[in-house]
Structure 1
Amino acid sequence: MQLEIKDLHKTYANGKQALKGISLTIGRGMFGLLGQNGAGKSTLMRTIATLQEPDKGSIMLDGIDVLRNPADMRKILGYLPQDFGVYQHISAIEMLDHIAEMKGILHAGDRADIVNELLLRVNLHHVRRKKLGTYSGGMKQRFGIAQALLGSPKVIIVDEPTAGLDPLERNRFYNLLSEIGENTIVILSTHIVEDVSTLCNDMAIIGDGQVLLYGKPEEIEQALSGKLWEKVVSKETLQEYRYEGMQIISSRFHAGRLIITVLADASPNEGFVAKTPSLEDAYFEQLKC
């Protein structure tokens, strides 16, 4: 099973070019789409989910022309958008039953079995009769995944799913997504590098509506091997390194000290030490943060 995205373009009425020739091949498993807010991630996700049309390009899924036959795509799609709202005064079991019926699961007994199984899978069965408005952020996200899984979709899209979650809820969400991704195409759109490095076997970094890097996280990291150097500096001298023409890709504080990371073929000067590359380094290098 493979999703083929070719040369997608999208310009909004206000002149904003959200997609500028996006092409990607996405297979079964977890695929990470990493980029800043405004990079074009949500536009791409909505286009794949058939919620909007591009100006140009094509999307194919195992013989299905997604853009020409959106109804066929919707039958096999699960979608958790970035802004996922819930009805505050209805219970999880009632809401999932309603969604299951809309998805064509008409027999009440079948719906009950499927809904209970999903609630167990996302660890919400014990609170199935509580109103959704009482759920925590993490619980709402797990409910969102449950509704996305109704109908056994072949493609699942999750847009910024861990934003705002505490570390414990994020870890639970990671485990759930990893399990789902074993037999399904799961596209994870996020600006959080840890989400991609933890979960995804393939990924792309996008910026300004374009694919900047595409491949496996470990390969993207290793491409910077031997080219990164770091040094503890003072805030007062940071600008001096910029004046010297060093390509500073990031600066961060650790234990109260300012550490800069520089991209160079050899150590820039005294005091720099080699740095083992991370996916975050690759991300910053592409965005020139």
Structure 2
Amino acid sequence: MKLEINNLSKTYSNGVQALKNVSLTIEKGMFGLLGQNGAGKSTLMRTIATLQDPDTGEIDFNGINVLKNPEALRKTLGYLPQEFGVYPNVTAEELLTHIADMKGIVHKGERKDTVAALLQKVNLYDVRTKKLDGYSGGMKQRFGIAQALLGNPQLIIVDEPTAGLDPMERNRFYNLLSELGENAVVILSTHIVEDVSTLCTDMAIIGNGKVVLTGKPDEVQEVMRDKLYEVPIHKEQLTEYQEKYNVISQRFFSGKLMITVLADELPAGEFDAKSPSLEDAYFKILSES
């Protein structure tokens, strides 16, 4: 089971080049696509999901030429876009049943069991008869997750899926995605580094429409071992340190500004060595971009 993307490019009518010769090979399991808002992630996800055509390039999934035969891909696709709407005056159970019917689950008993099981998985079963306009943002997001999983899709795309979820709901979603990744290609598009480091076995970082790095999260961060150092400073000193060192990130800690510096050896001063994280690697890529 494999998704292959070759030399995908897309320029919008306003002149924005959203994708620039993007090539990726994504196999079964959890794949993280990491990048800032506006990096091109959503454009890539919409293109894979056959919602828009690229200017150039090819996409193949398990022998399906996605651009020439989008209907075949849609039969095995589960998609949760970054923003999606719901019919406000129907219940979660009613709408999910309707979507299940459209996805080809026509046997009444099977459809009922499938809908109930999915609502249980996303923790909405107890409010299944409540109209969707009464749902909170997080509840609507969980409903979106449920509809994406209908029909046991082999390719699942989730775009910024944990937005609006509280920590407990995020945890539940992490577990669900991990389980799905055992039998499907699951693409997690996000700007949240923790989502990728927690869930994904492989990843790519995209910036300005281009793939700037691919690899396994632990390998990506290990490249920076013995090259990271941090020190607390007063915020007024930031410019001075930025001029003197390669500062890749900064955060407030106990009232002081904690900066992380990339260097081949321990800098002079009160720096401490820092164990690398995927977030450090991400910040390094962003600073270089």
TM-score over 0.5 (shorter chain)? yes
Alignment of 1:21-170 (within 5 A): 21-170=21-170
Answering whether residue 260 of structure 2 is matched by residue 258 of structure 1, we say no
Once residues 172 and 86 of structure 1 are traced to their aligned partners in structure 2, the CA distance between those partners, rounded to angstroms, is 22
Give the structure 2 partner of residue 282 of structure 1.
281
Query: Counterparts of 2:72 and 2:231 in 1: how far apart (Å)?
Result: 54
Structure 2 CA distance for aligned equivalents of residues 283 and 152 of structure 1 = 33
Q: TM-score, normalised by structure 1?
A: 0.96
CA contact (8 A) 1:12 1:18 kept: yes
Query: How far apart, in 1, do the equivalents of 2:237 and 2:137 lie?
Result: 42
Distance in 2, Cα, partners of 1:136 & 1:41 = 26
SS of 1:188 mapped into structure 2: strand
The residue matched to 2:231 in structure 1 has which SS? strand
Is 1:218 the counterpart of 2:218? The answer is: yes
Q: Secondary structure at the match of 2:117?
A: helix
Q: Which residue of 2 aligns with 1:273?
A: 272
CA contact (8 A) 2:78 2:150 kept: yes
For 1:234-255, what per-residue CA distance to the aligned partner results, in whole angstroms no more than 9, with x for missing partners? 11211111222x1110111111
> d(CA) in 2 for partners of 1:129 and 1:189?
31
Cα distance per residue 1:86-120 (max 9 Å; x no partner): 22221111001111111122232222122122222
Are the equivalent residues in 2 in contact too, given 1:229–1:275 (CA < 8 A)? yes
DSSP-derived class of the 2:85 partner: coil
Letter in 1 for 2:46: R
In structure 2, what is the equivalent of residue 240 of structure 1?
A: 240
Whether the 8 Å CA contact 2:235–2:256 is kept in 1: the answer is no
3-state SS in 1 of match to 2:22: strand
Structure-1 separation of matches of 2:169 and 2:150 = 22
Deviates more, 1:123-132 or 1:187-196: 123-132
The normalised TM-score by structure 2 is: 0.96
Identity of aligned residues (%): 67
Give per-residue Cα distances to partners, 1:164-221, cap 9 Å, x unaligned: 3222222222122222222111101001111111111111110000111101100001
1:55-93 CA-partner distances (Å, limit 9, x unpaired): 111111111111111010000000000002222221111
Residue 173 of structure 1 aligns to a residue in which SS?
helix
Unaligned 5+ segments in structure 1 are none
Shift of 1:122: 2.1
Secondary structure at 2:235's aligned position in 1?
coil
Specify the alignment match of 1:203 in structure 2: 203
Distance 2:142 2:164 in 1: 13
- 2:141–2:164: 8 Å Cα contact kept in structure 1? no
Query: SS state of the match for residue 288, structure 1?
Result: helix
What is the letter of the counterpart of residue 28 of structure 1? Answer: K
How far apart, in 2, do the equivalents of 1:11 and 1:282 lie?
28
The RMSD of aligned alpha carbons is 1.2
The runs of 5 or more residues in structure 2 that have no matched partner are none
